[in-house]
Structure 1
Amino acid sequence: MLNVQELKEIIRALDQSSIQTFQLKQGSFKITLEKAATHTDLNKGIEEHSFKVAETKPSISVEEKVQVSNDQPKENNTSVPSENEVDIHFVHSPMVGTFYTSPDPGADNFVKVGDQISEDTVVCIIEAMKLFNEIEAEASGEVVEILAENGQLVEYGQPLLKVRKR
């Protein structure tokens, strides 16, 4: 179970990202955070977000208001590809971290556009908190597009690769 400081850090990270919903499950513990813009005061440059936190056992609901200064423009160069394309599978990031296309600097990339891959093919690494996590394709087919750049910070659920299924 999370302590208050860990929960506050997650809320801060969610608020600073473009992610709208975050869900964490640990055994019987489940937490869901949903970000919804409730009010924008353009004169003061302040945006309020409402977060709901719920735990499965016992059922608890907590609301916390967070104010964020809009002094710094938020960069959002994450393109949202259409997932309605026929026979296309998107490999999504299972976590927030740094995206790497190869196991080591200077080494060959795991995959490149045009490669034929299987479900268990490692397509990239996501580094999170000094842990390197190999990400598998989860679908067989041809790599059509690599949507993230080497060394780029990626968010949970962000599309990383586009694969045309066989």
Structure 2
Amino acid sequence: MNPKDLKDILLALEMADVREFSLKTAEYDLNIKRGAEAPVYVQSSMQPVQMQPVQGSAQVQAAPAQASAQAAQVQPPAAEAAAPAAPTPTPGTPVKAPIVGTFYTSSSPDAPAYVKVGDSVAAGQILCIIEAMKLMNEIEAETAGTLREILVKNGEPVEYGQTLFIIE
């Protein structure tokens, strides 16, 4: 696999918003994971190639199908290895995603959002919908309070445990 082929794969995965990808050939076992705060690694029995992450951080591991003691590991430049400063958390109670899926602020594109910043919410009130495998899952507030922050945009994918809202 040459660097251009790997770059083309990474670009196609970014355009399709694929987070994890595996490819096995006679020469390689290729595993790609996007979105992790991890350095970029490439291992191969052929000439090592260093790839730059495509939008955000990504982890790429490629190892020959026949294990080789001569496999090379390429480390990213020191500038990429430095972790960015964590944002200051907003005080309040976080509402986290109970499942992986797509975040929606309303029941349909033409319907008004369930809640907006500054709204008073009651325990059990619907805050959003997360679509997972064509099932619409209503996410409810666990506590009453005022909605201080919405941390996800309509239509964005969300991960399990990702903070969606802050209720104060």
The TM-score normalised by the length of structure 1 is 0.54
Evaluate the alpha carbon distance shift between residue 75 and residue 123 of structure 1 in structure 2; reply closer, same or farther with a 3 A threshold. Answer: same
Shift of residue 19 of structure 1? 6.0
Query: Can you list the C-alpha shifts for 1:36-82, whole angstroms capped at 9, x where unaligned?
Result: x698459533xxxxxxxxxxxxxxxxxxxxxxxx5551437xxx765
- Structure 1 residue runs of 4 or more that deviate by more than 2 Å after TM superposition: 10-13, 15-20, 37-45, 80-83
Compare the two structures and name the one with the higher strand fraction: 1
1:101 counterpart (90, 101, 105): 105
Corresponding residue number in structure 2 for 1:146: 150
Between Structure 1 and Structure 2, how many residues are aligned?
110
Q: Against the structure 1 CA distance between its residues 17 and 132, is the aligned structure 2 distance closer, same or farther, given a 3 Å change threshold?
A: farther
Superposed counterparts of 1:98-137, under 5 Å:
98-137=102-141
**From 22, 33, 39, the counterpart of 1:16:** 33
Alignment of 1:1-166 (within 5 A): 16-18=33-35, 40=41, 44-45=49-50, 70=51, 72-75=53-56, 82-83=88-89, 86=91, 88-164=92-168
Question: Could you tell me the TM-score, scaled by structure 2's length?
Answer: 0.54
Unaligned 5+ residue runs, structure 1? 1-9, 21-36, 46-69
Gaps of 5+ in 2: 1-18, 23-31, 58-85
Match of 2:66 in 1: none
CA pair 17-82 structure 1, distance change in 2 beyond 3 A: farther
Question: Over the residues paired in the alignment, what is the CA RMSD in angstroms?
Answer: 3.3
Counting aligned pairs with the same residue, the percent is: 40
